Amino acid sequence: MVSNPLPLFPVQSLNPSGIEAPASSPAPTTLVHLFEWTWADIATECETFLGPNGYRAVQISPPQEHIVLPDYGYPWWQRYQPISYQLESRSGSRAELQDMIDRCRGAGVAIYADAVINHMAGFESGVGSAGTRFTKYDYPGLYSAADFNDCHQQVSDYGNAENVTQCELVGLADLNTGSARVQTTLVDYMGELVEMGVAGFRIDAAKHIRSQELGEIVAQLRDRHPETDLYIYQEVIDPGTEAIRKQDYYGSGQVIDFKYGQFLGMAFLGLEGQTLANLETLGESWGLAPSAQAVVFTDNHDKQRGHGGGGDYLTYKNGDLYALANVFMLAFPYGKPQVMSSFAFDDSEQGPPADAAGRTRPVYQGAESSCFNAWVCEHRWPAIVGMVGFRNATEPVATVTDWWSNSANQIAFGRGNRGFVAINREAQPLTHTFQTQLPQGRYCNVVQGGLADGGKTCTNDAEVVRVNRAGQFTATLPAITALAIHGEAKLAR
């Protein structure tokens, strides 16, 4: 293709799709986690970038009142220690949350809330982001000691399901989710968010809630809001060697399959003899959840920091290699992909960019974003945003076609007559004639060039791919680059 490829990360904002956001939100193909963004910033991002570029859902940080920890430097994890279910958090007020939900829906982007319902804050006492004072097991007007499980010890045996679900995850006050009163309280909280327009929930620490009890909570929530087809996906970290199994939670919704990102990391990092060619069969046969049950990621906020069981995961700090792994994830027809959007950190406990009082610094300064500095904004990296459009265009085809590899770290595959991708992980260029099922024509490589002029031209003329009437094209990919073309990136003659 090109002798001097553009970096796969990060450049100025662009709109490779050239497509206006629809008025209503279709079934999401790709969701993005805007980790620790404020509600006002998310609203603007939905309107100016996410909707126009084909992102269809955002996972937001937990919206409930949380503990405030100045002595710990306002760490990211304070969001995961609830004090009450008031919608006043580091990200903003209830009114700002409502405005964000409404504006994102108007841009065709659904909002999924991170629901922390397994536990409350674990500190002996403190104050919350709405000013609520508490002591452990006593959260005024909400829960008292009777609402918590009797095991006031930390989880110590992951081979024992009762220990995992009834004791305290890292000392957090573990709610008795089998209690009718607790279930009603949780359904009330989540129901309020649904009434505001939230379209789904990530269930934090689902592994630490008995699957039957979580199923009861979700069923009550669905029964209370039959008009909303809620999207539920659950954090169940299942290494395959413990008492809690992800399949126990399929009845409540999808599960986040943590092994997927580890498999990607091993292949792209070349660990334990793994190569990209091995990824041809990636899926349920590898011990992953069935594709229809799985939410997958290259990395998430825990895995970036070595939390959640460890493992070898690529992050934004791996640069182009990380971008390539996301190209694969968004091209390969397995699971529901989640793109991570981070803030830069050196300390694994570090909170988002903030002032001395812990107030989060905005991503947007007026109409301009401050992405690619303290806010990493991987979802805006050209390779990643280009592949979101690829995912949307190829979603109807659930299979891989025309797989090719060099039996090592150069691979290519198609998605029927909808799209084709090639990835060169090797240190030397790849020149090859690829067979596709695409119609004859000129296409824009959406990894390196965006669409412009309503999709009629490619922003980088050197990235135009010519497919002949036999469905073939010849290209040269420099080291650590990728190419992706799809039907909606076909150029006018």
Residues with a catalytic annotation lie at 204, 235
Neighbours of 464 (CB within 10 A): 16
Q: Is 76 exposed, middle or buried (0-12, 13-18, 19+ CB in 10 A)?
A: buried
- Report the alpha-carbon angle 323-329-332, nearest 5: 135
Residue 300: half-sphere exposure toward Cβ, Cα within 13 Å? 27
Residue 202 neighbours by CB under 8 Å, 6+ apart: 59, 112, 113, 114, 115, 233, 234, 235, 256
Residue 427 neighbours by CB under 8 Å, 6+ apart: 479, 480
| Separation of alpha carbons 438 and 472, rounded Å | 8
What would the 3-class secondary structure string for 417-456 be? CCEEEEEECCCCCEEEEEECCCCCEEEECCCCCCEECCCC
| Separation of alpha carbons 309 and 302, rounded Å | 9
Q: What DSSP line would sit under 285-319, residue for residue?
A: GGTPPPGGGEEEES--TTGGGT-SS------GGGT
Q: Identify the three-state secondary structure at position 323.
A: helix
| Separation of alpha carbons 261 and 312, rounded Å | 8
Compute the radius of gyration of the chain from its Cα atoms.
Answer: 23
Largest Cα separation within the chain, whole Å, is 72
Neighbours of 457 (CB within 10 A): 17
Give the tokens for residue 100.
Answer: 């964000």
Task: State whether the Cα torsion 379-380-386-389 is positive or negative.
Answer: positive
